[in-house]
A and B are shown apart, each in its own frame.
Chain A
Amino acid sequence: MQFSYSLLFFLFLFCGGSVYGNTIEICESCPVRSIKEGISQASGYDTLLIKKGTYKEFNIVVDKPLTILGKGYPVVDGEDQGEIITIISDNVTVDGLFIINVGTSYTKDYAAIRVIKSKNFKIQNVVLEKLFFGIYLEKATDGIVYHNKIIGDAVEEFNSGNGIQLWYCKNIKVERNHVQRVRDGIYLEFSDEVIIKNNVSIDNVRYGLHFMFSNNDAYEGNTFENNGAGVAVMFSKNIRMSDNVFRKNWGTASFGLLLKEINDAEISGNIFEENTIGISIEGSNRIKYEKNSFTNNGWALKVRGACYGNSFVGNNFLYNSFDVSYNSKLNDNVFTGNYWSDYTGYDLDKNGVGDVPYRPVKLFSYIVNRTPETIILLRSLFMDIIDFSEKVSPVFTPDNLMDGAPLMKKVQ
């Protein structure tokens, strides 16, 4: 027993020694003056300490398990030539660099930092400006992208890239990043078990967050504001979305959140504020919506069809122009125990639940679906009268679509 412990101890010492390798300093007056040179001289598990200065380099290939550490934010200037850092080794850490001028190309997706088929990488405290693609993870696993700042200058979709892109990745954490003015703030394709947490994604040309064919992922505590089309989550299973903020996504094809072909997801505690459409739902089944707040949206929920078995419980619907819009007479979704600011019923037994059901779909929203110009008659007395008559005896709206237990007070 004693023996095996001491063996373990020596083994640990040995391994530890190899993890904490040598440090190679890189600066203008040092023996090593460029990052490429540093990488070629380093052996595995060394640290490259890059001092303050400007390094005009691109196509830097990291093929050893290194820690690349910037001190005082050294500038790595790609001079629009192409890709800047490509990581092809496992166990690489990139920390504290200021990377600018990634080359724009119409045939290749040049990125500021690209990780290819690597494990256990860590990219943190990096600032990216004037970029094409920012951090591009390609078939990478078990990594962390933490506290980076990506500020693009994208104007058009076709000649701009994404901030953080994950393609065929697994088990990655994307946390506390700030992404601004790129095409898609965060883009996931075929990536499973990814956690996206406390990021800020604003002013992007297309989507704040774009999800495709990615299962078992979670995103929580993020802020998505003023993006061209909001956030799109498509063709994915088992997604958990909680405590995010979706704000000010205005425009004809703009949503707080677009769900398309999403099954078995959980959407809770999110805030949707001042969007043209809070959530647009299409072909999504068995989703639980709980404790979300929809405030001052044009449409809080737009249900477009083929949505079955969804449940909306305990949400706040406050001052939206339309609470719910449906385009069919069929309803298989459950609304219960929500607070609706438009609810005019009473609560005689004082149990906090309204005594008459609330019908969230107005006839007017059907008319607007059919003839969009009629939106100009919003809030007119005539519309109120026909909405009222529809409420009394539903003809056009699904008659089982109602909240049987509307709350009298806001859900906290």
Chain B
Amino acid sequence: MIKILKYSFYDLMRSRWSYVYFIFYLLLGFVLLFLNNEISKAVITLMNVIIVLVPLIGTIFGVMYFYNSREFTELLLAQPIKRTSIFLGQFLGVASSLTLSLVLGLGIPFMMYGLFRSNAIWDFSLLLVTGAFLTFIFTALAFNIALSNENKIKGFGYAVLLWLFLAVIYDGFFLMSLILLEEYPLDTFSLVASMLNPIDLSRTLILLKLDISALLGYTGAVFKKFFGTDYGLSISIVILFLWTILPILSLKFKASKKDF
């Protein structure tokens, strides 16, 4: 598995797309810092970008890589290598190269603008950790989709739809249900609902750092316990881990069942 991981990783490192992705983040970081002049404000803007873009790129890239390397995968399958290690190796290669581009692309400009001397460093590292989690989650989801759909167009369609659903539509339903059910106590419901969507979950995680004063404005014991203590942070991270592991397990399961 390590060998395949290494191969995928180096293959991607040499490919154009990784550089495009890296340069995109590099530019984004510089432009944000240039326009904002202040690290703490740039971190807030960056959060909006990471929450939306990282999943999108993870999904598209994952599906694309899977379909492109399909012939190579079939070749590997003919060799005496365990199936799970082929797919897991490929997945880890893609996800880790994307994460590397993200971390380096954003890290370099922020470091040059004096990140270590500012007090935004914790917010920024939380942002990068969340970005890494999102990359892993969405690449795994994309691999799942690509593995279940032979048809490329269909696969792409589902992947984009998945992103659109989790990034935008889910929140729309969420908001509607909160407003429709407003007579009932909703704090547990809203927390659970935001746990069920990895994008919402990472957003919550970042809110805990950036907007804690607004979040504490709501009257409710459950909210207060969740946001007011470390309880919220630890639960969010645990569930984010679950979100990463579950698609990987499903990928493993699917890969071993699939008839090529």
Q: Enumerate chain A interface residues (CB-CB to B < 8 A).
A: 250-252, 254, 274-277, 296-299, 319, 321-322, 341, 367, 370-385
Contact = CB atoms under 8 A, between A and B. Distances in A.
13 contacts: A252-B216, A274-B213, A275-B213, A299-B214, A321-B214, A370-B182, A371-B186, A372-B219, A376-B200, A377-B178, A378-B214, A381-B51, A384-B48
A341 B41 CA distance: 9
A378 B207 contact: yes
A372 to B, nearest CB: 5
Contacts of A297: 213-214
Contacts of B41: 319, 341
B211 interface: yes
A251 B211 contact: no
B51 A372 contact: no
Given A252-B216, A276-B217, A371-B182, A321 B211 contact: yes
Interface in B160-184: 167-169, 171-172, 174-175, 178-179, 182
B178, B187, B217 pick with most chain A CB within 10 angstroms: B217
B172, B175, B187, B215 pick with most chain A CB within 10 angstroms: B175
Contacts of A377: 171, 174-175, 178
Given A252-B217, A382-B175, A298 B203 contact: no
Given A252-B218, A380-B203, A381-B168, A298 B175 contact: no
Nearest to A296: B213
Nearest to A253: B219
Given A252-B219, A381-B52, A298 B214 contact: yes
Interface in B185-211: 186-187, 189-191, 194, 200, 203-204, 206-207, 210-211
Contact of B171 (A296, A322, A380): A380
Contact of B194 (A254, A277, A376): A376
B191 A376 contact: yes
Nearest to B187: A373
Given A372-B219, A379-B203, A322 B214 contact: yes
A410 B45 CA distance: 18
A374 B178 contact: yes
Contacts of A250: 212-213, 216
B168 A321 contact: no
B44 interface: yes
A371 B189 CA distance: 13
Given A298-B217, A371-B182, A380-B203, 17 more contacts: A251-B216, A252-B224, A277-B217, A298-B216, A299-B217, A321-B213, A367-B175, A367-B179, A373-B178, A373-B186, A373-B190, A376-B204, A378-B211, A380-B51, A380-B171, A381-B48, A383-B175
10 nearest A-B pairs in the assembled complex, by CB-CB distance: A298-B214, A321-B214, A382-B171, A298-B213, A373-B186, A252-B219, A276-B217, A371-B182, A373-B190, A321-B211
At the interface, is chain B mostly helix, strand, loop or mixed?
A: helix
B40 interface: yes
A321, A370, A373, A384 pick with most chain B CB within 10 angstroms: A373
Contact of A382 (B168, B186, B217, B223): B168
A334 B213 CA distance: 26
B52 A379 contact: no
A375 B186 CA distance: 12
A380 B200 contact: yes
B215 A375 contact: yes
Contacts of A277: 217
Nearest to B219: A252
B200 to A, nearest CB: 7
Contact of A372 (B171, B210, B218, B224): B218
A379 B182 contact: no
Contacts of B189: 373
A25 B146 CA distance: 94
B47 interface: yes
B168, B169, B178, B204 pick with most chain A CB within 10 angstroms: B178
B48 A376 contact: no
Contacts of B175: 367, 374, 377, 382-383
Contacts of A375: 214-215, 217-218
B186 A381 contact: no
Contacts of A251: 216
A380 B190 CA distance: 14
Interface in B61-103: none
Given A321-B213, A375-B214, A381 B167 contact: yes
B218 A373 contact: yes
A379 B169 CA distance: 15
A376 B190 contact: yes
A282 B203 CA distance: 33
Contacts of A341: 41
